[in-house]
Amino acid sequence: MQVEVKMRDDKDHTSLKSLTPSYLDPEHSSFSSFDPKKLSPSVDPKISFVDPARPERYDFMVSDEASGKRLDLFIFEAAKAQGLSWSRSQIQKWIEDGRIEIVFSATQLKPSYPVVSGETVRVAPPPPKRLQLEAENVPLDIVYEDEDIAVINKPAGLTVHPAPGHEEGTLVHALLFHLKNLSGIGGAMRPGIVHRLDKDTSGLLLIAKNDAAHQKLTAQFQTQQVERRYIALVCGKMKDDEGEVRLSIARHPVDRKKMAISRSRGKAAHTRYRVLERFSGYTMIEAALITGRTHQIRVHMTAIGHPLIGDPVYGSCRRPEIKRQALHAALVSFTHPRTGKTMRFTSPLPEDLTILLAALRKHRDA
Catalytic residue among 9, 44, 59, 198: 198
CA distance 342 to 333: 7
CA distance 112 to 125: 19
Scored b (16 or more CB within 10 A) or e, 147-172 reads ebbbbbbbbbebbbbbeeeeeeebbb
The helix (H) or strand (E) run that includes residue 271 is strand 270-279
For residue 223, what are the contacts with CB-CB under 8 A and spacing of at least 6? Answer: none
DSSP code of 262?
Answer: -
- The verdict on whether 198 is a catalytic residue reads yes
For residue 37, what are the contacts with CB-CB under 8 A and spacing of at least 6? Answer: none
Residue 216, sorted as left (phi over 0), alpha (psi -120 to 50) or beta, turns out to be: alpha
Which among 211, 197, 285, 281 is positioned nearest to 241, based on CA atoms? 285
The residues that are catalytic are 198
